[in-house]
Structure 1
Amino acid sequence: MFLAWNEMKSAKLRFLLIIGVLTLMSYLVFLLSGLANGLAELNREAVDQWGADAIVLSDESNINLPQSSMTIQAAQNISAKDKAQIAQILLVARKSGTKIKESVAITGIQKDQFLMPKISEGRAFTTNNEVVADDSLKADGLKIGDQLNISSSNQKLIIVGFTKNAKFNAASVLYTTQSTVQKIKYGKANASGKGLINGVVLRDPNFAHLKVNSKLKLTPIETFIENMPGYTPQKISLDFMIYFLFVIVSVTIGIFLYVLTIQKVSIFGVMKAQGISSGFLIRSVMAQTFLLALFGVVVGFVLTTITGLFLPAAVPIQLNLPALLVYGLIFILVATLGSLFSVQTIVKIDPVQAIGG
């Protein structure tokens, strides 16, 4: 470590350039990680707020909530520890008298069941056509008392409250009564008076033992999230980009250190002639790489944190500290392993040839 540190101090510019490259790579890894988490949260925020263990949907829905349909009677026959009915339709809402449009997931629930969100501003809905909206809509100019026109329907909704973290499949959620969803979906409440819903959300750790109608399907909540349109392909794509970056880091640092080792062959030859072993020189190179990667990761982390503070709200970035720490450690490990490219060169150095003998 002493040799590695002193060499870095004596050739500051050279090693600052290497640290700069590692900083940019770690910065990119951390930013991609934040974007991956942010995009994932856009899809699952509302579902995570439910605190559910499973969901029951129709068997032919392909584990897609808006495409599912069942009767309330079928929902009532499900004997779970705690359950909540849910109706949902994905549409576009426009603020009356303006051109402000938003993709929304109009979600019908019952106020006395656990799907009822916590109100961050305003009040809960009390009658049909009143909604509690995701508070991200405030950034687009919507406020309490605004009236919303709904596409493909003559129904008008009024915002009476806001709740936090209510995104479903990247759409802002509007919580309202089930009757409101039925009116938007069918033009009026179902003729039977009981209506139709899309699914039943369960809070029951032992849900796997529940029996449901053959036309219904019981699905763990994580499986339900993974089957949201675009969720899994998007997450896998971003994860693979991060993994490939680690490979690129390993190759890049290996090339840098190999070139530096070639330039220092004569110096290493002199050191070997003085009795310094190849093992000592290899440990020195690896220690030097560790220090370079550590500095790069620390600076990259600081830059990522600063960037996260100044990015506009429209950019879905979420910096997860435990994940960043894991990526940082992997980054340092991969970079250190990349230094092994130089090991064979160091071992093969002949002191006599290296010093021109």
Structure 2
Amino acid sequence: MNLAWKEMKKNKVRFLILGSIVFLVSFLTFIISGLANGLSQDNAALIKDLSDGQFYMSEDAEETYNLSRIDVDTQEELLEKEEQATALSIQLGFLNDGDNKQQSVAFVTSAGSENFPQVGNGEVILDRSLEEKGIKVGDTLTNNQFSGEFIVKGFVDQEKFSHAPVAFIHTENYQEMYRVEEMQLVFIPNGETTESVSGLQAFTKDEFLHTIPSFNAEQLSLNMIVWFLVVISGMLFGIFFYMMNVQKIGLYGILKAIGYKTSSLFKMMWTQMIFITLLALGISIALSQVFNQIAPDGMPFSLPVGTTLQLSIVFLVIGFIGSTLSGIQIKKVNPLQAIQQGEM
């Protein structure tokens, strides 16, 4: 332990460079992870905030929710069998406000549900982000596909779908607008079994999220960047300690000659790795959490503490693996040969 500290004090610049690189890589990883979580929430909060359960859509829709049409009789059978079941439909569209300005929304209608707000005929409940655009309770909104008008009855928090604020409307109004009688989906909360229903395909909540094209492509790209950065950090540790070990072959030979065990030399290297990583992670965690608090309202950014801790553990594990692999040469050091090669 003391030897590890003495070496770090002697070679401050080397270890400062490594710590700075780990800080920059981890900070960038936390920021991208926060953007991924924020975009995920902005893209599918309507679905993500539901309890775990089973989604059903028609098999011939080929896992495309807006092409799904569930037979009315099948829907009624499921709703009668499962007391908490919900039939719902989702469709992107727009509403015209009092200034005849179009507001993009995701229209959602549901039947027999406590999972979504229930609205009356001619009423609409909106995501609160539209309140920030000047829409108020009691305002009258229109849609070119709807013969009547919508009266704003209230707002709900964090209800987004496909990056659009959700507009909950009555089933009859939805059917008039989109000229359909059938609903697209049936959701059964807390359903742990994938009961087979003729003509329908079952999905868990996570599986259904990945049928949303924008969600799947977005999350796959961002998560790939996050893990690519994690791998880079492991490679940096491996390269750094490998170069350090090459330069210290003579020192290791002397230490082995005076009685130091290989395990002690590994412990010295691990101590340095853990200290540098914890220090760099501590600074990047603090800055990323500050950014999480001050991020602009329009930026979809969310970095929960749990996600930060998980990534930190991954960084420590990757750092341990990288430094350990680079230290395999320590075990092969022959004291006499190392001393004859020269010095440190």
Shorter chain as normaliser: what TM range?
Answer: 0.7 to 0.9
CA distance in 1, matches of 2:265, 2:49: 55
- Farther off after superposition, 148-157 or 68-77: 148-157
1:229 corresponds to: 213
In the alignment, the residues of structure 1 paired with residue 35 and residue 312 of structure 2 have an alpha-carbon distance, to the nearest angstrom, of 16
Q: Distance in 1 between matches of 2:290 and 2:274?
A: 24
> Greater shift after overlay, 254-263 or 127-136?
254-263
Deviations 1:217-255 (A, max 9, x none): 443333222211222232222222222222211221222
**SS of corresponding position for 1:209:** coil
Comparing 257-266 with 293-302, which one deviates more in the overlay?
257-266
| 2:33 paired residue number | 33
Contact 2:250–2:338 under 8 Å retained in 1: no
Question: Which residue of the partner structure matches residue 120 of structure 1?
Answer: none
Partner of 1:61: 61
Which of 335, 340, 343 is the matching residue for 2:319? 335
Establish whether residue 352 from structure 1 lines up as the match of residue 340 from structure 2: yes
Task: Please name the residue that 1:90 is paired with.
Answer: 92
How many residues matched? 338
Deviations 1:264-303 (A, max 9, x none): 4554455445443444333212221121111111111111
Q: Aligned pair in 2 of structure 1 residues 143, 20: CA closer, same or farther (>3 Å)?
A: farther
1:28 Cα deviation (Å)? 1.6
- Relative to structure 1, is the Cα distance of residues 262 and 140 closer, same or farther in structure 2, using a 3 angstrom cutoff? farther
Equivalent position of 1:280 in the other structure: 264
What are the equivalent positions in structure 2 for 1:1-357 lying under 5 Å apart? 1-51=1-51, 53-78=53-78, 79-97=81-99, 99=101, 101-110=102-111, 113-117=113-117, 125=119, 127-150=120-143, 152-153=145-146, 155-186=148-179, 195-203=181-189, 205=191, 208-209=194-195, 211-212=197-198, 214=199, 216-339=200-323, 340-344=325-329, 347-348=332-333, 350-355=338-343
* Alpha-carbon distance in 2 for matches of 1:207, 1:271: 62
Q: Closer, same or farther in 2 for the Cα pair 1:264/1:310, shift >3 Å?
A: same
Please report how far the alpha carbon of residue 152 of structure 1 lies from its aligned counterpart in structure 2 after TM superposition.
5.0
Which piece of structure 1 moves more, 141-150 or 221-230? 141-150
Structure 2 residue runs without a partner (length 5+):
none
Task: Give the drift of 1:93.
Answer: 2.8
Runs of 4+ more than 6 Å apart: none
Deviation at 1:355, TM superposition (A): 3.7
- C-alpha separation in 2, matches of 1:51 and 1:271: 59
8 Å Cα contact 1:80/1:210 also seen in 2 = no
Deviations 1:129-150 (A, max 9, x none): 2111112333444332333343
Does structure 1 conserve the Cα–Cα contact (< 8 Å) formed by 2:45 and 2:158?
yes
SS of residue matched to 2:166: strand
Aligned residue identity for 1:25: V
Q: Structure 1 residues 272, 199: CA separation in 2 closer, same or farther (over 3 Å shift)?
A: closer
CA contact (8 A) 1:255 1:341 kept: yes
TM-score by length of 1: 0.83
Amino acid at match of 2:41: E
SS where residue 49 of structure 2 aligns?
Answer: helix
Task: Show structure 1 runs of 5+ residues with no match.
Answer: 118-123
